[in-house]
Every structure is written in structure tokens, then in C-alpha cells.
Structure 1
Amino acid sequence: MRMPPRILRRHILTATAITTATVAVGAACSSPQPEVVGSAQVSTQDGTARAAQLTYDFGDTAYAPPGLDGKRMELKAAVTYPRKLDGGKHPVVMMLHGWGDTCAKADKPVRSQDWPCSKDAKSVDNYLGYSYLAEALADKGYIVVSVAANGIQAQEKDDGHTARAALLDKHLKMWQQLGTGEGPLRELKQFTNHVDLNRVGTLGHSRGGGGVLAQALDSHKRPPGVNIRGTLALAPAMNGISADKERITRIPLSVVAGTCDAMWKDSKIPVAMASGNPNVEHHDVPGGNHNFFNTVWTPGTGPAFATDDVAVDKRNRPGGKCQSTNGTGTIQQLKPSEQRETAIRYVTAFFDKYVR
């Protein structure tokens, strides 16, 4: 399986913290997975005219998912949601980023496999790279939760997909409790009685795509009361998933991949795994690469080490063209804004069809 090269770089977005609150942690239960530790800091960001934004963060060592050999990671997410939540319950979309640089010092990435980051380094905000998708979905009435997973990518070996699926389940469990005003996030009262966990969509990019696929497997046991109605994978990396043994036949599935992305061939694997599933889509993005789906990994919107992975993989051609990996020849490469607009169309159409 292709190891995401130094391509997957992310921009360190600086959120404007307006208010800070503390969320008490619920009592431990009998689950074999350790419960969250400590309390969460909640920061409210500016958002847009129609979408409000906040971030909750239980700390860098709040959770030990299966698949990390007992190692701990962060429990953190950015939430984008309609400013008016008075229209009953809203569907939820969970987002999960892929593999990339975890920590950075100034303009340089720190490529060690340590977590948390050293005191002189900052965690790269990979999870904020899909804000454009979150805002588009929030405008249509969705509550969008973009989950941070740097602790997994810094420490994973061959079972990262298991850890990612469990991480998504952990956040969903907290949102399930919050929906009735309980649990670790219960101080976020604006969401009480406005969360519909019977209408959940999941979206993952790169190894995050592998994570949402792992959660969508027929063999995976999701939290009781949570109904995932659609899973969308952007250029998924299948690291660790036994594609010859596992199946995805119960949840509608969409796979979207750029034709100038080396991961395009792998994007066909989940389609084969979903044989017999009546609701499966695969969409080529002509001229699309791997990184431009995430603004944090994109030059111009990311940090100094953000990269156009088509150029890194030496598939660029004169005149801004790239050699397609789907056998369609040389094609004009999409600009980052064009690739994001394409992603918005596919993502909103899919979730409107199966989740909304």
C-alpha cells in the first residue's frame, strides 16, 4: 500500500477563540475502551453568516482506541452547524482526515512518530482542511463534526483503520448522549434535542477514507442507536483492511478520486468490496490530485510545506497538465478551487440523497 508521501501536508489554521467553556466528563462505564480523561475546552470561532463553528478538545491523551496497542491520542473535533437549530433534529456528518505531518516547528514539519508533539512544536490542524465542505453542508441543515486523528497517524502500525473506526464511534457515542443533554459534551446545550443520530453520514479522505470504510464494514459493530445512512470516501487508502474478506453491502457508498492521483487505482477496491450493494457510486474527478481536497495540504492555503502531490510524484506535464492514472491520457490539472467545488457537488448530492 502506498505510504502517503511527504505530500500530505497541512496548513495550521488559527481559529479565533471567542469564548471558552469547560465540559465535565461523564462517569466511566463498563466499556472495555477507556473513557475520556479530564474535561474539554470549547472554543467558539467566527463561522459564516449561516454556519456557526466551535471546537471541543479533551486533550492530546484523552483516549486509547483499539488498534494502537494501548497508546493514547487526542479527542478533539471541529463542529460546523446551522446558526438556527430551532427546526427540530438535524442530520449529522462525521469527517475524518488522512495521514500527513503531525507536528511542525515554524515552517518545517517534524517527522518523528512521537505523540503528543514536543513542547517546541505545534500539532498540525489536519482536521480543519475540510471546512469548505462543512460549511456547504451546514448551509443545508447538517451538523458536521470534523474529527482530529493526529495521535493515530503518529503512532499507528498496521491496524490504524481499526483505531480510526473506533475513534468515530467514540465521538458518535458522545453526540448520542449530548442529544438528550447528557454525557461528556452535555454543556453544549444548543444541540440538545437537535441531533438526529438516526441520520448519520460519514466522510473520510485518504487514510481517513479507509477509516470510514472500516466503520462501514458489514462486520463492524457500530454504537447502538446510530444509523449510518451513507459513507463517502475521498481517494481512500485501504491500509490494513482485508479487502478480500470484508464486505460493505448494507450502507450506501460513494467513492470520489482524482484521475491524477496515484491513489485512483485503490479507489476501485471498496467498489469491489461492495458487490451486491444496490447503492454504490464511483466518481472520477478529471485532473484532480490527492491533496487539494484538504486546504491544509494545499499550497497557498496550507503551510510552507504544503505540496501539490502531482508535482511530487513527477506526473506533471507542460501547460499545467498531468498524466491520468485512469488511462485517459494527459489532462489539464484542476486548480485547488476547482477541485473543492467538484467535491462540494459530489458530497452534498450524496448526503442529500441518502442522509438528509
Structure 2
Amino acid sequence: MPPRSLRRCVLPVTAVAAVTLGTACGSSQPEVVGSARISTQDGTARSARLTYDFGDTAYAPPGLDGKRTELKAAVTYPRELGGGKHPLVMMLHGWGDTCAAGDEPVRGQGWPCAKGAEPVDNHLGYSYLAEALAEKGYVVVSVAANGIQAQEKNQGHTARAALLDKHLEMWKQLSTGEGPLRALSGFTGRVDLDRVGTLGHSRGGGGVLAQALDSHELPPGVTLRGALAFAPAMNGIDAAKERITRVPLSLVAGTCDAMWEVSKVPMAMAAGNPDVEHHDVPGGNHNFFNTVWTPGTGPAFATDDVAIEKRRRPGGRCESTNGTGSPRQLGPAEQRETAIRYATAFFDKHLK
């Protein structure tokens, strides 16, 4: 069965653009989201990165009861974009600490962050993946969703899917040189919206699953070619009623991750899908897929969930969550290499 066509109604950049962004189909009133702050960051020899940021209260997605969240993303792309079009991968992080003051997380204070606190850059925890994909020719957009995780109740998957949709709408407009991202003119004509993939981790994995549901309608002019979820959390998706049969699906989870069993749930939802797979990562945990959540690369409050959940065993081993005993726990670098291997293989198969 062909991938689903989505259906709903390098550049140093210093421009700051005033923008308006349309609401969902059927609304005649545009949503004013303010000005895009665009900045460049260091990349690698073969990849570059920039950030666009419309502010912490730029968008009110469904599922948040009218509360607002940010429109912000890090874009990692081939340093030499060349003359052709590049496939697009959207990334979405999961639930972690939202705000911090120095080395201490600031919890239970809502969104935006309180005075003296700053947002935790959860969306930058997959930069290693974004760089690996960009060096293979992908444009990668890692979306910030702190405002959702600070305010969600039981419809976080709806808000996350809508947030991905909103960013895709902006990239579709940019493909013709228009819309809120028009200052990024170097990408116009360089991104193939017919070859889009998504990658989500934890609750971000739930978000990409929600976006891939047969029942979900997304921006017109975009084709979703594959959804990849690392240890997805379902948080609100009704697995007994929903189906994922039209989008190629890959699920990856560590065997020492408490989310391993949940990661198997979408397999039943994908019954009848001709292209679905589940991969165990022996000795993998939950947090090491995200460098911001990992001790040594993240802030002082980053944790190893195996230790927090008291599943460490002697000799560098961990108690499995899939009944396979006590495998050697993977180190952070090993787990990242595994993530790169699965992500590049999946997207190379479905987007190239």
C-alpha cells in the first residue's frame, strides 16, 4: 500500500521576519505569531544548523484547552544543499524537565518558564542523529515541545501531532518562498515535501504515532513516507480503536527500558500494515537516546533511568524488561550509535 498523502485543511540568516500564520481549515482569522528569531549554530564539516523561534506562546494547539506553546525548531541540513531536493525528517522529543535555573530543574511552574529560569533544550538531544542524517542528504527539523509537556493532561498526543503539522505547514509555504519561514529563502526549492519522515522519542514517539494514524489528517501537499518511534509512550491514544496501516512504521526500544512493553502496543494497531517492524536494543535504556537526558552530556539533573528505577545489576548489567535476563547495559555512545544505525536504515529505505 502506498504511503499516505497528507490531506488537511546554507545559510547564515540574520533576517527577522514579521509573520502571520493561518489557523486550521475553516477558520477565516489568521493567528498572529509574531517575529521569527533566526540564529545559526556550529555544525560539522558536512552539516550546518540554524534555529528559528517564534516565541514561547506562538501557537495554541488542540488538546491543550486553549493554552499556548512555542514554535521553535533546530534545523540541521547538508552544508552543500546543491541543486536538487532533499527529503525532510521531523523530530519530536519526549517528556523531560521543562525549565531550569542553573543546575536545578524548576518544576510545577507552568509555561513559559518563570523569571530566573530558562527552557531546557530537550529538542537538541538528538543533534547527533540530525547530524548523521544531514550528512547523508536529509534536512532535519527537531521541534521544541516544552510548552506542551508543561501543560498537557491526557491529550498530549493530539497537541504534539498538531505541532508537527504546524511546522510542516510552514515548510510547505517555504517551498514556494512564502509564509512565516520565508527568510530562510535558501531552502526554497531544496526540500522535497513528497518525502517526509518523522522520528519521535518517548511521548514524542506517541506524537509521531498520533500523526501517522489512519484517522488523522495533516497539511495538504505533503507525503508522509515513514514514522520511527523510539520507546513511544501512548499517553492518550486509544490503541483499541485507532489504526496505523498506511504509513511504514518502525518501533525501537531498549530491553532495559520500562517502556519496552508499551513499545509493542502499536504493533497491534498496525495489523494489516505491509511495512511495520519492531527492534529490540539489548541493554538499552530510555534516556540515553537523548543526550540532554544523559549524565555526562546533559545538565546536572540528567539521569540514567536504569539506576533511578533500581534495575542495575552487578558487572555493568541491567534487569531486562522483556524477560531476557540481565544483559550488559549499553553505554550512552553505544546506544546513540544504535539509534543512528536504525534511523538511517529506515529513512534510507523509505525516503530515498
Per-residue Cα deviation, 1:18-64 (whole angstroms, up to 9, x for no partner): 86430231464674496351111001011111001000000000000
Specify the code of the residue in structure 2 equivalent to 1:23. A
What is the Cα deviation at residue 111 of structure 1?
1.0
The alignment status of 1:106 with 2:102, answered yes or no, reads yes
Asked if 2 retains the 8 angstrom alpha-carbon contact of 1:24 and 1:185, the reply is: no
How many residue pairs match? The answer is 339
Instruction: State the alpha-carbon separation in 2 of the partners of residues 113 and 64 from structure 1.
Output: 19
Name which of structure 1's ranges 201-210 and 29-38 shifts more when overlaid on structure 2: 29-38
The alignment status of 1:284 with 2:280, answered yes or no, reads yes
Per-residue Cα deviation, 1:96-155 (whole angstroms, up to 9, x for no partner): 000011000111101114100011101000000000000000011000000000000000
Asked if 1 retains the 8 angstrom alpha-carbon contact of 2:13 and 2:184, the reply is: no
Secondary structure, counterpart of 1:25 in structure 2: strand
The alignment yields a C-alpha RMSD, in angstroms, of 1.3
Asked if 2 retains the 8 angstrom alpha-carbon contact of 1:258 and 1:288, the reply is: yes
Equivalences for residues 119-268 of structure 1 within 5 A: 119-268=115-264
Give 2:6's aligned residue: none
Asked if 2 retains the 8 angstrom alpha-carbon contact of 1:67 and 1:162, the reply is: yes
Instruction: State the alpha-carbon separation in 1 of the partners of residues 21 and 142 from structure 2.
Output: 25
Secondary structure, counterpart of 2:130 in structure 1: helix
Classify 1:34/1:267 alpha carbon distance in 2 versus 1 (closer, same or farther; 3 Å): farther
The alignment status of 1:54 with 2:37, answered yes or no, reads no
Give 2:326's aligned residue: 330
Specify the code of the residue in structure 1 equivalent to 2:269. M
The alignment status of 1:25 with 2:19, answered yes or no, reads yes
What is the Cα deviation at residue 272 of structure 1?
1.1
Specify the code of the residue in structure 1 equivalent to 2:75. V
Give 1:65's aligned residue: 61
Instruction: State the alpha-carbon separation in 1 of the partners of residues 133 and 105 from structure 2.
Output: 31
Instruction: State the alpha-carbon separation in 1 of the partners of residues 201 and 18 from structure 2.
Output: 31
Secondary structure, counterpart of 1:21 in structure 2: coil
Asked if 1 retains the 8 angstrom alpha-carbon contact of 2:319 and 2:325, the reply is: yes
Classify 1:27/1:162 alpha carbon distance in 2 versus 1 (closer, same or farther; 3 Å): closer
Secondary structure, counterpart of 2:327 in structure 1: strand
Deviating 4+ runs (over 2 angstroms):
18-21, 26-36
- Runs of 5+ unmatched residues, structure 1: 1-17
Secondary structure, counterpart of 1:114 in structure 2: coil
Specify the code of the residue in structure 1 equivalent to 2:90. M
Instruction: State the alpha-carbon separation in 2 of the partners of residues 27 and 97 from structure 1.
Output: 23
Per-residue Cα deviation, 1:321-345 (whole angstroms, up to 9, x for no partner): 0011111101100000000000000
User: Paired residue for 1:307, among 294, 300, 303?
Assistant: 303
Asked if 1 retains the 8 angstrom alpha-carbon contact of 2:21 and 2:32, the reply is: no
Instruction: State the alpha-carbon separation in 2 of the partners of residues 82 and 310 from structure 1.
Output: 36
Secondary structure, counterpart of 1:337 in structure 2: helix
User: Paired residue for 2:76, among 75, 80, 104?
Assistant: 80
Instruction: State the alpha-carbon separation in 2 of the partners of residues 273 and 29 from structure 1.
Output: 30
The alignment status of 1:273 with 2:272, answered yes or no, reads no
- Runs of 5+ unmatched residues, structure 2: 1-11
